[in-house]
Structure 1
Amino acid sequence: MTKTKKLVILGDSAFAEVAYECFTHDSDYEVVGFSVDSAYLGRDQLFGLPVVPFEEIERFFDPAEVEFYAALVYSQLNRLRTRFFGLAKDKGYRPASYVSSRAFVWPNAVIGEHCFIFEDNTVQPFVKIGNNVVLWSGNHIGHHSTIEDNCFISSHAVISGFCTIGANTFIGVNSAIANNVVIGADNWLGVGVNILGNTEPDCIFKGEQPQAAKVSARRFFKVKA
Structure 2
Amino acid sequence: MADVVIFGAGQLAEVAKAYLDRFGEDRVVGFTVDEAFLTQPEFKGLPVVAWERLEERFPPDAVKLLGPLSYQNLNEFRRNRHAEGRERGYGFARFIHPSTHNMAETVGDNCFILENCTLQPFVRLGEGIIMWSGSHVGHHSILEDFCFVSSQVGLASGVRIGTCSLIGGQVGVDNGITIGAGSYIESRCMIRRDVPPNSVVRHPSDLPKPYSSARIKSMKFR
- TM-score after normalising by structure 2: 0.89
Q: Does the alignment pair 1:121 with 2:91? A: no
> What is the RMSD computed on CA atoms of the aligned residues?
1.0
- Partner secondary structure for residue 34 of structure 1: strand
Cα offset, 1:26, TM superposition: 1.1
Match for residue 55 of structure 2 among 55, 58, 71: 58
Aligned to 2:24: 27
2:192 maps to a residue whose letter is L
Q: Does the alignment pair 1:5 with 2:2? A: yes
The whole-number CA distance in structure 2 between the counterparts of 1:92 and 1:110 is: 23
1:157 maps to a residue whose letter is V
How many aligned positions are there? 204
2:187 maps to a residue whose letter is V
The whole-number CA distance in structure 2 between the counterparts of 1:197 and 1:17 is: 37
Match for residue 142 of structure 2 among 126, 129, 146: 146
Match for residue 189 of structure 1 among 185, 189, 205: 185
The whole-number CA distance in structure 1 between the counterparts of 2:25 and 2:121 is: 26
Q: Does the 8 Å CA contact 1:38/1:53 hold for their aligned counterparts? A: yes
Cα offset, 1:82, TM superposition: 1.0
1:161 maps to a residue whose letter is S
Cα offset, 1:110, TM superposition: 1.1
Cα offset, 1:149, TM superposition: 0.8
Match for residue 97 of structure 1 among 88, 94, 99: 94
Cα offset, 1:189, TM superposition: 0.4
Gaps of 5+ in 2: 205-222
1:207 maps to a residue whose letter is H
- Partner secondary structure for residue 92 of structure 2: coil
Q: Does the 8 Å CA contact 1:139/1:156 hold for their aligned counterparts? A: yes
- TM-score after normalising by structure 1: 0.88
Alignment of 1:75-114 (within 5 A): 75-106=72-103, 108-114=104-110
